[in-house]
Structure 1
Amino acid sequence: MAAAAAPAGPATSTFGLEPNGAQHDRADPPEIEDRQTHSEDATPHDLVDPATLTTRSSVLQALAELSTYSASLEDELVSLFEESLPVIDEAKRNVASVAPQVELVKEEAYVLDRRLQESASVAKRISERVRLLDEERKRIALATEWAVKVAELKDALLSLAAAVERRDWDQATTHCIKAMSIDPAITSSKFAAAVIPTAELPEAPDATLLALRQAMLSAFTESFRRATESKDQAEASRFFKLFPQVGWKQEGLDVYSSFAKTMVRERGRAIGESLGSGKAQSPTYFALLLTGLFEHLATLIDMHQPVVDRHYGQGNFGHGVMPGLQDECDRLGLRVLDAWHEDRGIKRKLDEVNSHRFVGGAAAAAAAKSPPPAFRPAFGVPGRTASPAGGRTASSSIDDPSGPDGREIDRILNELAAIGSRWGLYRRFLQDRLQVPDGNHHDGRQRSLAEERKAQASEPLKDFRRPSVSSPRLSLDGAPTGAGQADRDSFEAVEMRDIAAESQLGKQVDEALATVYTTMETWYLRNSLEKAFRIDQPDLQARPYTSSILDDAFYVLRTVLGRVLSTASLRTVSAMFRTVRSVVEEDFIEAIVRKMENTWRSVSGSMAVDGPRKEAATREMRTVFVTYLNVLDISAQYMDRVLGDVGNEQSLARIYGGDELEQTLAIVHSLGSLVNRLKSGLRTEIDQLFTQITRPRLRAILTEAYRDTSYVLDDEGYADAEDRDLVRRRFIKGWEHVFHAFKGIFTESNHNTYVNMALDALLKPWEGMVMGMRFSELGALRFDKDIRGISTFLASQTSLPVREKFTRLQQISYVINLDATEDEGDVYQNAVSSGISWRLSAAEVKSIQALRL
Structure 2
Amino acid sequence: MPADTNQFTPSSISVNPSELSLSQLQSLTNIDDIQEYLRLLDLEENQVDVDLDALLDKRTYLETELDKLEALRPQLGTLHSKSADLVKIINTTSKVAERISAQVRQLDLEQSRVQQSIKQVEDVQELKSCINGIYNAMQKRDYETAAVHVHRTSTMDEKILTGKFAEVAIPTGEHPDIPQKLLHDSKETLYAIFSREFDAAVQARNESEISRFFRLFPLIGRETEGLDKYSNFVCGIIAGRSQANLAADASDAKFYAETIKKLFENIAIIINQHQPVVETHYGPGKMIRVIERLQEGCDKQSRIILNSFIDERHVQRKISDIKASNNTARLSFASQRSNQAKENDNAPDPREIDAILVELATISQNTHLYFQFIRSKVKSELDLLKTEKTDTSFDVDEPFNSSGLCKQLRELMEDYLLIEVFYLRRSMKKAMTIDEYDESHRTSSCVDDVFFVLNRCIQRAIVTSDVDVISSFANSVNHYLETDYTSVIQKRLSTLFTSNDAEDARIRFMILLNNLDMSCIYFQRLSTELQQDTLSSLTSIVTEEDIEKIRALLAWLEDSATGKFGQILESGLDQLFGQTIKPRIRPLLQEAYRDVKYVLEEEEYHELEANDFFGRRFVNGFNNLQQLYKTRFTDNNYNHIMTLIMDSTINMLEKTISATKFNQASLGALRFDKDLRAVLNYFTRNVQGPVRDKFTRLSQISMLLNLEVLSEINDYWGSSSGVTWRLTVAEVRKVLGLRIDFNQEEVANLKL
Give the TM bin, normalised by the shorter chain.
Answer: 0.7 to 0.9
Aligned to 1:586: 483
Give matches, 1:412-811, under 5 Å.
412-436=356-380, 440=384, 498=397, 499-514=399-414, 516-542=415-441, 545-600=442-497, 602-603=498-499, 616-617=501-502, 619-648=503-532, 649-673=535-559, 674-777=561-664, 778-811=667-700
Aligned to 1:181: 155
In the alignment, the residues of structure 1 paired with residue 738 and residue 273 of structure 2 have an alpha-carbon distance, to the nearest angstrom, of 97
Give matches, 1:73-152, under 5 Å.
131-152=105-126
Structure 2 residue identity aligned to 1:557: L
Shift of 1:198: 0.9
Aligned to 1:333: 302
In the alignment, the residues of structure 1 paired with residue 91 and residue 629 of structure 2 have an alpha-carbon distance, to the nearest angstrom, of 130
Aligned to 1:251: 225
Shift of 1:149: 0.8
Aligned to 2:81: none
Aligned to 2:131: 157
Contact 1:636/1:675, CA 8 A, preserved across alignment: yes
In the alignment, the residues of structure 2 paired with residue 323 and residue 440 of structure 1 have an alpha-carbon distance, to the nearest angstrom, of 17
Query: Percent identity, aligned pairs only?
Result: 31
1:743 partner SS: helix
In the alignment, the residues of structure 1 paired with residue 715 and residue 87 of structure 2 have an alpha-carbon distance, to the nearest angstrom, of 122
1:669 partner SS: helix
Q: Deviations over 1:602-633 (max 9, x none)?
A: 24xxxxxxxxx5xx31x133212211211111
Contact 1:500/1:506, CA 8 A, preserved across alignment: yes
Q: Deviations over 1:415-441 (max 9, x none)?
A: 221221221122122112332256546
Shift of 1:797: 2.0
- Specify every segment of 5 or more residues in structure 2 that has no aligned partner in the other structure, as ranges: 6-16, 30-84, 741-752
Shift of 1:128: 5.6
Contact 2:256/2:305, CA 8 A, preserved across alignment: yes
Structure 2 residue identity aligned to 1:626: M
Contact 1:424/1:568, CA 8 A, preserved across alignment: yes
Shift of 1:361: 9.2
In the alignment, the residues of structure 1 paired with residue 379 and residue 386 of structure 2 have an alpha-carbon distance, to the nearest angstrom, of 17
Contact 1:434/1:496, CA 8 A, preserved across alignment: no
Shift of 1:828: 6.6
2:215 partner SS: helix
Shift of 1:655: 3.8
Shift of 1:805: 2.1
Q: Deviations over 1:397-432 (max 9, x none)?
A: 995343412222222222221221221122122112
Contact 2:334/2:483, CA 8 A, preserved across alignment: no
Question: Measured at CA, do residues 115 and 813 of structure 1 come closer, stay the same or move farther in structure 2, by a change above 3 Å?
Answer: closer
1:707 partner SS: coil
Aligned to 1:812: 701
Structure 2 residue identity aligned to 1:562: Q
Contact 2:321/2:347, CA 8 A, preserved across alignment: yes
More helix per residue: 2
- Specify every segment of 5 or more residues in structure 1 that has no aligned partner in the other structure, as ranges: 6-32, 47-110, 375-396, 445-489, 604-612
In the alignment, the residues of structure 2 paired with residue 787 and residue 308 of structure 1 have an alpha-carbon distance, to the nearest angstrom, of 89
Structure 2 residue identity aligned to 1:638: Y
Contact 1:440/1:493, CA 8 A, preserved across alignment: no
In the alignment, the residues of structure 2 paired with residue 326 and residue 655 of structure 1 have an alpha-carbon distance, to the nearest angstrom, of 18
In the alignment, the residues of structure 1 paired with residue 390 and residue 663 of structure 2 have an alpha-carbon distance, to the nearest angstrom, of 106
Q: Deviations over 1:757-803 (max 9, x none)?
A: 11111211211111111112312221111111222222222333433
Structure 2 residue identity aligned to 1:537: E
Aligned to 2:288: 318
Contact 1:312/1:491, CA 8 A, preserved across alignment: no
Contact 1:315/1:435, CA 8 A, preserved across alignment: no
Shift of 1:564: 0.5
Contact 1:424/1:655, CA 8 A, preserved across alignment: yes
Aligned to 1:846: 733
Q: Deviations over 1:511-565 (max 9, x none)?
A: 1102x111111111111111111011122222xx111011100000001001111
Structure 1 residue identity aligned to 2:550: T
In the alignment, the residues of structure 1 paired with residue 333 and residue 393 of structure 2 have an alpha-carbon distance, to the nearest angstrom, of 62
2:111 partner SS: helix
In the alignment, the residues of structure 2 paired with residue 438 and residue 254 of structure 1 have an alpha-carbon distance, to the nearest angstrom, of 19
Question: Measured at CA, do residues 426 and 129 of structure 1 come closer, stay the same or move farther in structure 2, by a change above 3 Å?
Answer: same
- Structure possessing the higher radius of gyration over alpha carbons: 1
Contact 2:598/2:662, CA 8 A, preserved across alignment: yes
Aligned to 2:23: 40
In the alignment, the residues of structure 1 paired with residue 125 and residue 392 of structure 2 have an alpha-carbon distance, to the nearest angstrom, of 35
1:681 partner SS: helix
Structure 2 residue identity aligned to 1:653: T
TM-score by length of 1: 0.71
Q: Deviations over 1:158-178 (max 9, x none)?
A: 122111111123332333333
Shift of 1:118: 9.8
In the alignment, the residues of structure 2 paired with residue 196 and residue 671 of structure 1 have an alpha-carbon distance, to the nearest angstrom, of 81
Give matches, 1:209-228, under 5 Å.
209-228=183-202
Contact 1:635/1:678, CA 8 A, preserved across alignment: yes
Contact 1:815/1:849, CA 8 A, preserved across alignment: yes
**How many residues end up aligned between the 2 structures?**
668
Structure 1 residue identity aligned to 2:545: D
Question: Measured at CA, do residues 496 and 252 of structure 1 come closer, stay the same or move farther in structure 2, by a change above 3 Å?
Answer: farther
Structure 1 residue identity aligned to 2:276: P
Q: Deviations over 1:651-710 (max 9, x none)?
A: 232442343223222222222222233222221221111111111111111122112322
Question: Measured at CA, do residues 373 and 628 of structure 1 come closer, stay the same or move farther in structure 2, by a change above 3 Å?
Answer: farther
Q: 1:402 aligns with which of 337, 340, 345?
A: 345
1:790 partner SS: helix
In the alignment, the residues of structure 1 paired with residue 109 and residue 229 of structure 2 have an alpha-carbon distance, to the nearest angstrom, of 51
In the alignment, the residues of structure 2 paired with residue 691 and residue 301 of structure 1 have an alpha-carbon distance, to the nearest angstrom, of 72
Q: 1:349 aligns with which of 307, 311, 318?
A: 318
Question: Measured at CA, do residues 796 and 38 of structure 1 come closer, stay the same or move farther in structure 2, by a change above 3 Å?
Answer: closer
Structure 2 residue identity aligned to 1:252: G
Structure 2 residue identity aligned to 1:698: I
Question: Measured at CA, do residues 590 and 366 of structure 1 come closer, stay the same or move farther in structure 2, by a change above 3 Å?
Answer: closer
Shift of 1:356: 2.5
Shift of 1:242: 2.4
Contact 1:315/1:493, CA 8 A, preserved across alignment: no
In the alignment, the residues of structure 1 paired with residue 24 and residue 592 of structure 2 have an alpha-carbon distance, to the nearest angstrom, of 132
Shift of 1:348: 2.7
Contact 2:250/2:256, CA 8 A, preserved across alignment: yes
Aligned to 1:76: none
In the alignment, the residues of structure 1 paired with residue 254 and residue 563 of structure 2 have an alpha-carbon distance, to the nearest angstrom, of 38
Contact 1:436/1:496, CA 8 A, preserved across alignment: no
Contact 1:316/1:494, CA 8 A, preserved across alignment: no
Q: Deviations over 1:345-379 (max 9, x none)?
A: 33332222223249999966766xxxx989xxxxx
Higher relative contact order (CA 8 A, sep 6+): 1
Give matches, 1:289-308, under 5 Å.
289-308=259-278
In the alignment, the residues of structure 1 paired with residue 317 and residue 425 of structure 2 have an alpha-carbon distance, to the nearest angstrom, of 19
